[in-house]
Structure formats: C-alpha cells, structure tokens
Structure 1
Amino acid sequence: MSVFNQPRKRVIQIIMIGMLLLITGRLIYLQVVETKYARMADANAVLRKVVYPGRGIIYDRHGKSILGNDALYDLVVTPSNVRKIDTARLCSILQIDKPAFLRRMNDAILKNGRVRPSVFVSLLPPDVFGRLQENMYLFQPGFELVQRQIRTYPYATAAGILGYIGEISPKLLDNPAYKDYQMGDYLGMTGLEKTYERVLMGQRGIKYLVKDNLNRTQGPYENGEFDSVAVAGKNLHLSMDVTLQQLGEKLMGNKIGSIVAIDPKTGGILSMVSSPTYDPNLLTGPYRSANFGRLYLDTTKPFFNRATQAMYPPGSTFKPMIALVALDEKVITPAFGYACGGAYFGCARKLDCTHHNAGHAANLRTALANSCNAYFSHVYRICVDAQQFGGIKKGGMRKWSDYMYSFGFGHRLDIDIPGEYPGLLPTPEYYDKRYKGSWNSCTSVFLGIGQGELLLTPLQMANAMCIIANKGYYYTPHFVERIDNDTSNILARYKEKHEVVNISDSSYNEVIRGMVDVVNSGGGKRGQIEGVLVGGKTGTAENYAIINGVHTKQPNHSLFVAFAPADSPRIAIAVIVENSGAGNTYAAPIASLMIEKYLKDSIPAQRQALLQRMTETTTIPPAMRIKSKLDSLNRKQII
C-alpha cells in the first residue's frame, strides 16, 4: 500500500515546491526588478488624482468657436478615508447643516460604495471653491477637489444642436459599451455632444502627489514618473454658420416652429432652429440642475427639437413632388391644364380652391404658381389610378409611395444628432389596415395637396428642396464636416450621394420654373430678394387640436420651402411658423431674410423694417405664453 502511495506523495511535493517557487519569484520581481510598487507602498502619503481632459471644441464653418471649455471643481469624497475631519467647518463653507452632511455621505455610500470616490458637491461656485481650497487640509484624508471641465457657449445659440453633458448614471455604468467610464465622469446626453461623445471625450490622466503629515499636497511624486497625461478630445468643424443661426433664432423669437437651411451641394446644415429655444449656458455650471427642471417643465417644450421631431402636414409645399411624379410617369405633360372654377368635384364632395379665375391652372407651371388645389387633387388621382399600374390597389399606390420614399419621406434621414422622427408616409398597407380594404383614390385625395394622413418633419421638407435644387440627388443632412486629426471613417456616410428615382432634368426644370413663378408672381411674393432668383412654394397646413375631448380647428400653420439662387442653388430652406396663417404671412419673409443673410452676408437698410417686424411679432398662443417662464430664464442666463 505504501508503495502505491509513494508516487502520489511525490506529485504533491512537486506541486507545492512549484507554487512556492512561483510566489517567491513574483515577490523578487516586485521588490527587486519592478520597483514601482515597492516605492508606492513605501510612500503611504501618496494621493492618486484623476486629471480630466478638456473636451473637444466645436467650431462653425468660419472657424468661430461656438462651444468651448471652462474649469470648475467638484468636491469628491471617499467615505472609507474620512476620519477626524472638521465637519462643522466643512458644513459652514458648503452652507449645509449636519443632517444634510450625513445624508450626502450616505448617498455617496449607497451610490458608489465606501472605498470608491463619489461626488459630494458638484461644480462648486467660485467663492465656495476659494474657501474650500484654503481649508482642504482640515478635511483630509477623505475629501479632495477635482477639476472638472464645463462647457461654455460664447454665442448663446444652437442649444438643441450642440446638446449638453451630464454625469453618467449607474445604469449606463452597467452597460458594457461604457466600461471605460467611471462614476463621476461626464458624457454627452443630447445633440452633437452625444453623437460624437467618443470623439469629444478625450482620455483621462492620472497624477500622483505627495502629502505631508497634515495631508497637504507638496508636489508630484517621484517627479511625475508614474503620471499619465490627459489627452484632450478632438475638435469638430461644422457646416453651420453661427451668425445665420443667431438670426434664425431671433426671427423665430416669440414663435413656435422651426427653420432648416442646408447646402444642397454637400448636405451640410447651415442652420437649424427650433423655437422656442433656450440659452445653452443655462445647462452648465453650478445651477444646471435647477435650470434643467425649469426648462423640462416649461409649457413651450424647449427641449423638443421641432426641426427633426415635429411632424406636420406639408400642405401646398408638397405639390412640386406631386408634379415630378406625374411628369416622370407621363400621366401629364407640362402643357396639361385643368378647368378649375374654384373647387374640385371629382370625389362627390366639394374640395375648395383659393382661385376662381379662368386659366389659373391652364398648365403645370401656372397651376404651381397659383397653387391650384383642384389641379393637384386631380393629378394625384390620375397618377395612382393609372392603368399602367393596374389601378391604385394593384400597384398605383405602391408606385407612388415608392417615389415619395426615395424623396426621403416616411423614414429617418439619419442626421448626426439623435432623436430624429421618420414622419408618416401612407402606403397600401396603411390604408388596408385603416379602412379594412375598402378604399380608393378619393379616400386619399387630400395627399395631392399635402394634407390627409401625410406628415413630414421640417428636415425632410428642406431635404426635398435639395433634391429639386440638385435635380435628383441629395447627401445625408449633417452638421460635422471635419474632425481634427481623425483617422476613422466616421464621416464617410455623409459624403455618399443618394440618387433618387431617375426623373429627367426636363421634368425638374419645369417644376423649378413653376417654383420661380411662385415667388415672382404667385402666392410667395414675400419670399423675393432683390438681385436673387428664388424658387419657392408656400403652404398653409390645416391644424387641429383635441380640446376638452373635441377635435377643434386651430389657426393654420404657415410654411415656405425654397432654394436660391434658382439657377445655381447654394441654399435650400424650409420654414414653419405654427398657428400663424398663410405661408406668405410669416414663413416666406423669414425664409427670404435667412437666404439673403447667407448669400449676401447682410440685410440691406430697406429690409430692416421687415426684419424688425418679423422679430417682434408674437404668434405663441396666449395661454401657453402666460404659463411659460422661458423668457425670464433666458434673460437671466444663469440664475
């Protein structure tokens, strides 16, 4: 029996000797070869301090810094290290009582444990920081001041585009995608800050400092040998023109709606206004939380980006797209006319037109200039009912909706800020479900004039103008044109040309001529600019709201879409002013001022009165305006 046990005994001995040698070797390496840990252990008064990098700066198309950095400090606590500090003095400086101190300490433990640092007070006001800095030796070990970069907005504009940053939540920390973040880190929550977070964030550094017997820092440990350098985030260069953005926000002041202006040749967004808006400086600094709550609850919904999230019936601004489809499918020619006497009677009900005079829809160009409802209702029906598709149910509606989908309707365009809505583009399946298979072209006739079930975002409307301006293609709308020192392929998708259905240049030319007539002699005369040929289309979208359970008619929305110069477009634009009447009332003059500012870099003296009138006019419903506190917040900037 002992003979058989002998090999087993030897194996056990060999294993134990091997483990002993491994441990001994590791200890020799750590103590003799690798001196870093031995030296760090000897220095029991070494403070490890995280150095947060500066986030990347954001510049407009002319190199103006529209988003930069400033420095404030957080008071950070590691609960397990807190012992025998001057609690009364700390409470006095922070202007809190002892129970509040204990609550914050308990919150830190619950949030991040005893041995990990947590933010005790974030973004200290300068006066509080100064008093703390003088007395920090009374609160150590346990408490430390950590510098924190905060965002500054020198032009106080583009809040919804730039977005804001906030402290990472425990839920996100559990997400593997954020494994390189730690409690107390800040990251982009909305806008470009969120989309380009990995580009803007940079890389944290570590600094080791020596402390004396009173826990006061005396300088770098080992001359900074073990420090790691913080790497600043990369800078973004936008297509946006900050002065144009400021003008747009000024024009839309006291109004609800939006402006989207795009360079059709690149897809770069020149301006995106969502109104009402807010001063982005409200969401930075020590009063960020209080201001956020006020903005979130405001009746005018300043956090709601109406340019990408609000969905409207496009009204008559949709008629150029109807015309393009009809021309391409050859169901009409440019000479096609319709005898409109003031209404359309083709669907056993009267659909009113705003014109009664003979010849106002004698051909496509004239019908566009006069925005004849009867003409485009009829053209829509002969498109979807065309026998070449087997009628509306067998293929006509499908063909029509495919055209509209290729124009960018009914789906997200994938702009580089989050939260974009797709709009609503009716399809055969939509009508089958809604009407249980019992529908025809009269069911959807309102689509011919941009009403009915169709809903578009202002971004989609502006992009449609890019398609017409380019005669058949567009680039995905985007803000960021270039990233400093970027070796990734993150912007490649914005350089890809999107060809829409193969509509001939001659068809586009007919529609463009009609849209020029709209501005020169039709319903969009207030969109005129001296010396600039503008192609545009007004729209008046019906507006209903549910009030006390009743579907109630409200003031119409004013819309205008355009591109200029019409012979070689450099800007495409969509303007929507809610609750303000016809398209020529507010949307067209606002668009003309934006176009003129961009193309000429100034507004001439003879147009200053128009600028002032558009700026001062209020169209926000009185009940909403009375309840809103946004104006007072913006005037104070930071409370």
Structure 2
Amino acid sequence: MSVYHQPRKRVIILIITALVLIITARLLFLQVIEKKYVRLADANAVVRKIVYPSRGIIFDRQNRSILSNDILYDLVVTPAAVKKIDTAYLCNILQIDKTEFRSRIADAIKKNGRVRPSVFAGLLSATTYSRLQESMYLFQSGFELVPRPIRSYPYKAAANILGYIGEISPAMLKMSAYQDYQSGDYIGLTGLEKTYEAVLMGQRGTQYILKDNLNRPQGALENGEFDTAAIAGKNLRLSLDIELQVLGERLMRNKVGSIVAIDPQTGGILAMVSGPVFDPNLLAGSSRTRNVGKLFSDPTEPFLNRGIQATYQPGSAMKPLTALVALDEGLITPGFGYPCHGAYTSCGHVVKCLHSEAGHAANLRVAMAHSCNAYFIHLYRMEVDADKWGGVKKGHTKWREYMTRFGLGHKLGIDIPGENGGIVADTTVLNRLYRGQWNSCSELYVGMGQGQVAVTPLQMANVMCMIANRGYYYLPHLVQSIDNDHSDLLKKYKEKHAIGNVSDTAYHSVIYGMEDVIEHGTGRGAQIAGIAVCGKTGTAQNRGRVNGKVVDLEDHSVFVAFAPRDNPRIAIAVIVENAGTGARFAVPIANLMMEKYLKDTLPASKMAIMQRMLESSTIPAEKQLNSKIDSLNTTTGALTAADILKQYFH
C-alpha cells in the first residue's frame, strides 16, 4: 500500500469509530438515562389523554360576558380495549339498542382506528352522565368520560353574530388548514367562532396515565413529568352592546328583516339583528344536531344572516347618495328645484310621487323631506347624461365609481363570514340586459333606489356612517380588541377610509335635508326629544313568485338614520320585509333602538309603540304556519310581550 493511501485510511477509520461512539452514547441515553420514550412506547401500560382547553370568552362593549363555558361530558371509546363489559346495561343507560352499539363501534374504528379513542356518545345530558358516572367501573375496559367545554348564552341573543361550534368533519380534517386537529375536536363553524377560531381555541394539553393489567388507572406517568398543560383561548372584546342587541331581537320577533347599528366614530357594530331570531342556546348541548336540522329546514331561513347576506333595493334610502353625487359634480346647488306636479313623466314612464302640491321639490332640502321621486330621478339622469362624460355609458361608469366609493356593490370586509357584496350594475350588465341599446331613461329608477341596485343592511348603515362623518368611515367590525394579542389581526379595522373630495357643503345640504325628513317629513316617528336625528325613509318594491308566477308582493319597510346630527354616536339601517312603508315598521324600530342607546332608557310615551312592534307579525301566513321558530324558542324560556314591556317600562 502506498504512503499516499495511509492518511486516507486513518481518516475513514476515525470517522467510523466516531459514528459508532455517537450511536452507542445515544442508545445508552435513551435506554438508561431517559425513560420517557421507553414509557411512552409501552402501549399496554400508558394511555395518552387529551386535555381540552377552555375556549376564549366573548364580552360586549361594557365588559359583559355574552357567552360563557359550561362543561358537558363525552363518552369516549377505544375499540381495541373493549372487553367483557355489560353491553345491555350500557345500551340501557344510553337508550340505544345493540345494533346501534355495534354501529357506533364500527364508526369509531372507521374514523380513528382500533387503538385510538373516539367519541361514542357526545355531550351527554345531565341525567345520562349521572347514571354513567355511578357505573363507570363496569365499563372501564375501553370507555371513559371526557369533559368537554361547551358554550352557553346568558342573554339568549346574537346567534347569527356569535355562530356556533361543532365537531370537525372528516372533510375538514383532510384540509391543510386543520392539520393540527383530530377527529372528535370541536371547532368554530360559523360567525365569530369561525373567524377567530385560531384565537379562541387555545392549545390542547396531554396527560399520560398509567394503567395496570386490568386496565385500571394507576396515576400519572412519572408524576406528570411528561404532561403538557392546556392553554386557554384568548378572550374577544366586542363593540356590540348586548342590551341593544337584545332589544333589537325582541322588536324583530315574528318579522323577517334586519337591524344594523354602527358607531360612526369607530366602525364598531353596536347591534346586528337578523329576523326571525332564535336562541343560540339551541345550538349547544346534546340537542344541537336535532335543532340545527330544524332551523336549516325552517321556511323563514333563520340561519340566513340578513344583516350581511340578504340584499334589498334600498328605495328612497338611496336618495341622499344621489344628491351627493349631483352636488359633488357641480350639477346642482342646494337651491336647485324641480317643477314636480306629482309624477315624473319625461321618459314616457309615469313614476308617481307622494306629493303633488306646488313647491314640494323647490330645493334639495325640501325635496329630501318630501322624498320626491321625480327630483331624484332627474338628478340621476343629469349625472349620467352630463356633457363632460361624452355619453351615457361613460356617465354611468362614473356614477358607479361613486357608488363603489360609498361602499356599495362590493364586500366591506366585516369580520364574520358570508358577507354579500350586493349589486350595482356596470355597463356590461346593462348592455346584456338591454342588448346594447339603453340610455338614462332605461335605468332612471336607480336614482330613487330601485332598478339594478341591491344593498345589504350593513352597507346602508355604513353609508349613514359616511354621511354622518362628512366623508369617511371605518370598516364595520365586531371585535374591538383581543386579550393579550399583539398581532396585526385587527389593524385594518382601525384605518380611516376617506370617500374622496366630496365637499363639506355637499354633506351639509344632504344632512340638513335628512334632518328635515325627521322634523317634518316622512320620518317624524323617529324624533327623540332633545336630539337632532337625521334619516331617510324608504319603501322597497318586493317581487316574488306565487304559484310559479312573478307578482308584486307587500313592499319592504326601510329606514336609515344617524344621531345626533353633530358628533354622531349611532348610525342605523332597518329593513322589515313585507311590512309596507318605511314609516310603518322600520321608523319606530329604529327610533326605539336609537333612544335606548343614546339615553339608556325609553320614555313611557313609547310604550304603545313598542307594544305594537312586539305584538305585530309580518311573516307571510304560509311561512308562519310551517315555521318551528316559536316552538323552539319556547323550549329555552322565551318571554311574552307583557314580560318584555315590564322590563323597559316600570
């Protein structure tokens, strides 16, 4: 062998020797010094148990807990460990037969295998849990009771906002977003529970429990040395005023529609009601699955959060925006008048107005107070036909740009899932609708909030924030802060969104016109003593199918407002389906909500109005007949109208 190869041979020998020493040292450490892996590998002696953390609590703006955690128990099975138990007795306790017992064991094996625990009977009732607890020594071979935190709702309100939790589905477990979950885990499925799942869920812990050869627990492995503690989820602090939310839900009993109230200074949502309402406690506990099925099949669609998912033609509530565009473009001044004699007839259509007397559209403020259809139709046509645009299509595009800046026709980005962006038709849609042949007369109705425009109640409440603030708003949101959270999760809700260069003079004219609506116009029912309220009523046309034919149905009642006029504290939109004019239902509901929030009490003079709202139903008879909402709410102790009145009027 050459001298050249001698150093190379020594290097190889040294490397091999070093590797042998490292492997030997590691084996010595694992087998003699470190006992953890030896212990955990002994599957017959050690059981790994998951400790579920306490889910984060949700508080309202006054730090009132609007949901809390209770404890129920799951009966969990490890199929491979089930030996020589009294199956008949267990079936008797659970009120199932042996066929169902075998089916559940098979499902557990299919879901999680034979040696991993699976839920056999979830969220046991108090009676069932009590009987099982007394007899668990009979079922220790393979079965155990595992505590499970569940939600409870002391105010019985805000179901569509809070959402609900449920067991994660097999389909979700296959998604990368849920790789840290396992079968049997509970997860936020809707509402805030879903949006803030990562914050609310906390971190699971583990316990390693020693068992003897008879599968009896003998205590913690190595005195708990290998256990990890569960870490509770973080709490959410909302802008929501739970007392205002409760009032809104009571006012929307037996009604279909929505109330959305926002703090204009922050964009924080004060209340978001979707009618018909249901008690969120129906979605917790052992009856959850059965109740979910009933609610999903109910003809009134209670799971539809109408505040963000339903869209409506805004009707005359659109007129303040029509006025702002005309003023900002310099097409009119606040003194601009229109010679309306009770209808608009310039396009070959007859669009009637509420008033026909001379001078009811003498200027912007007067036209706003009288809600003159002809005036605002004329403004829309001026806006899209202006010479500077060079054609109606470019004019309509410019008009749509304004609507987009005002927050219409797209999602605003609220922090609960399912938001609908609404509709503000662009020229592509109109070209298709009218086969390329259209002009300002074709869509004249959008000037008065009809035609190819549809909005959510959230968007209309946000428009009121924008007008109240004279040209800016914050993205509407529910969560104001998260305890012990230093991320940028809420950053976008703190940023101010400016509308553009719409002048203060334009806002001034529109705002005072809206005040006139309340003082001596169509919204007089919204007056609050000592507070300047600005608003606009609306009556939205409602077309639907009856026996396969499209027909005109009862109009929707619409009202939007903010108060006070200066330094506003609340902006609100109310839509009640099939309820007629805005003044009939939307105005009194908004009035009660605003007064309760601004003054924290309701005067005795409003008792009769509230009683009418509580006792009225606007749900179509055929839907009311087939709805299970009332009977379901009764099971959780719903109050009567008389009981509610006593709470507000002593």
The alignment's TM-score, normalised by the length of structure 1, stands at: 0.96
The equivalent residue for 1:5 is: none
Is this contact kept in 1: 2:252–2:277, CA < 8 A?
no
User: What CA distance in whole angstroms lies between the structure 1 residues aligned with 2:235 and 2:617?
Assistant: 38
1:108-147 matched pairs, under 5 angstroms? 108-147=108-147
Name 2:406's counterpart in structure 1: 407
C-alpha distance in 2 between matches for 1:519 and 1:499: 27
Q: Contact 1:137–1:214 (CA<8 Å) still a contact in 2?
A: no
- Contact 1:287-1:638 at 8 Å conserved across structures: no
**Corresponding residue for 1:618?**
617
Q: Distance in 2 between matches of 1:336 and 1:194?
A: 50
Match of 1:53 in 2: 53
Would you say 1:265 and 2:250 are equivalent positions?
Answer: no
Do the aligned residues in 1 keep the contact of 2:94 with 2:128 (CA within 8 Å)?
yes
Aligned residue number for residue 577 of structure 2: 578
Aligned twin of 2:429: 430
Matched, 1:205 2:205: yes
Residue of structure 2 in register with 1:515 after alignment: 514
In 1: Cα distance, 2:221 partner to 2:12 partner: 46
| Worse-superposed segment, 309-318 or 109-118 | 109-118
Correspondence list, 1:534-553, <5 A = 534-553=533-552
Separation of aligned partners in 1, 2:186 and 2:637 = 20
Counterparts of 1:95 and 1:252 in 2: how far apart (Å)? 39
Aligned position for 2:299: 299
AA matched with 1:369:
A
Quote the Cα distance in structure 1 between the aligned partners of 2:601 and 2:214.
63
SS in 1 for 2:141: coil
Cα distance in 2, alignment partners of residues 219 and 288 from structure 1? 35
Q: Deviations over 1:406-440 (max 9, x none)?
A: 00000000000000000000111221122221110
Which residue does the alignment assign to 1:566?
Answer: 565
The corresponding residue for 1:361 is: 361
Cα separation, partners in 2 of 1:40 and 1:457, compared to 1, 3 Å: closer
The alignment partner of 1:555 has SS state of coil
Q: Please show how residues 339-354 of structure 1 align to structure 2 within 5 Å.
A: 339-354=339-354
| 8 Å Cα contact 1:51/1:230 also seen in 2 | yes
Give yes or no for the alignment of 1:183 onto 2:216.
Answer: no
- Judged with a 3 Å threshold, the aligned counterparts in structure 2 of structure 1 residues 28 and 141 are, in CA distance, closer, same or farther, namely farther
CA shift, 1:75, in A, is 1.0
Residue 377 of structure 1: aligned partner: 377
Between 614-623 and 86-95, report the one with greater CA deviation: 86-95
1:3 maps to none
RMSD in angstroms over aligned alpha carbons? Answer: 2.2
Shift of 1:170: 1.1
Task: Encode CA deviations 1:232-276: one digit per residue, 9 max, x unaligned.
Answer: 000000000000000000111111110000000000000000000
Query: Matched residue of 2:567: which SS?
Result: coil
Structure 1 Cα separation of the partners of residues 408 and 174 of structure 2:
37
Q: Could you tell which deviates more after superposition, 368-377 or 40-49?
A: 40-49
Residue 520 of structure 2 aligns with an amino acid whose one-letter code is S
Higher mean Cα deviation, 140-149 or 66-75? 140-149
Q: Secondary structure at the match of 1:151?
A: strand
Paired position in structure 2 for 1:75: 75
Native 8 Å contact 1:446 1:452 kept in 2: yes
Are 1:137 and 1:215, in contact at CA under 8 Å, matched by a contact in 2? no
Q: Are residues 1:416 and 2:415 paired?
A: yes
CA distance in 2, matches of 1:16, 1:286: 63
SS in 1 for 2:255: coil
Q: Secondary structure at the match of 1:320?
A: helix
Rate the CA distance shift 1:43–1:580 in 2: closer, same or farther, 3 A: closer
**Whole-angstrom distance in 2 between the partners of 1:282 and 1:463:** 31
What secondary structure sits across from 1:502 in the alignment?
A: coil
Distance (whole Å) between structure 1 residues aligned to residue 43 and residue 436 of structure 2? 81
Aligned pair in 2 of structure 1 residues 548, 43: CA closer, same or farther (>3 Å)?
closer
Determine if the alignment matches structure 1 residue 254 to structure 2 residue 254.
yes
Match of 2:461 in 1: 462
Kept in 1: contact 2:39–2:46 (CA 8 A)? no
Aligned to 1:235: 235
In the TM superposition, residue 141 of structure 1 has moved relative to its aligned partner by 3.2
1:106 corresponding residue in structure 2: 106
Structure 2 portions without partners, runs of 5+ = 1-9, 639-650
Deviation of residue 352 (structure 1)? 1.2
Counterpart CA distance in 1 for 2:28 and 2:528 is: 83
Distance 2:151 2:236 in 1: 14
Contact kept? 2:192, 2:415, Cα under 8 Å: yes
Is the alpha carbon distance of 1:43 and 1:114 closer, same or farther for their aligned partners in structure 2, counting shifts above 3 Å? closer
| Alpha-carbon distance in structure 2 between the residues aligned to 1:85 and 1:16 | 56
Residues 563, 573 of structure 1: 8 Å contact kept: yes
* Paired residues of 2:317 and 2:558 also in contact (CA < 8 A): yes
Match in the other structure for 1:502: 501
Measure the CA separation in 2 of the matches of 1:79 and 1:26.
36
Q: State the Cα distance separating 1:14 from its structure 2 match.
A: 11
Equivalent in the alignment of 1:225: 225
Output one character per residue of 1:314-363: Cα deviation in whole Å (capped at 9) or x when no partner.
Answer: 00000000000000001111111010011111102211111110000000
Residue type at the aligned position of 2:368: L
Q: How does 1:324-343 map to 2 (within 5 A)?
A: 324-343=324-343
* 2:644 alignment partner in structure 1: none
Q: Residues of 2 paired with 1:441 and 1:272: CA distance?
A: 36
Q: What number of residue pairs does the alignment pair up?
A: 633
State the shift of 1:638 in Å.
9.1
| Offset at residue 218 of structure 1 (A) | 3.9
Q: Which moved more, 1:541-550 or 1:473-482?
A: 541-550
- Decide whether aligned partners of structure 1 residues 472 and 605 sit closer, same or farther in structure 2, where only a CA change above 3 A counts: same
User: Aligned partners of 1:399, 1:481: CA distance in 2, in Å?
Assistant: 35
Residues 451-495 of structure 1 deviation map (CA, whole Å, 9 limit, x = unaligned): 011100000000000000000000000000010000111000000
CA distance in 2, matches of 1:330, 1:41: 80
Q: Contact 1:56 / 1:235 at 8 angstroms: preserved in 2?
A: yes
Q: Is the 8 A contact 2:112 2:183 kept in 1?
A: yes
Task: Give deviations 1:600-623, integer Å, cap 9, x for gaps.
Answer: 001011111111111111111111
Inter-partner Cα distance in structure 1 for 2:524 and 2:450:
23
**What's the offset of the Cα at 1:84?**
2.6
Q: CA deviation at 1:69?
A: 0.2
CA distance change for structure 1 residues 18 and 91 in 2, over 3 Å: closer, same or farther? farther
Write the letter of the residue equivalent to 1:391.
G
Code of the residue aligned with 1:499 in structure 2: it is A
In the alignment, structure 1 segments of 5+ residues that lack a partner are 1-9
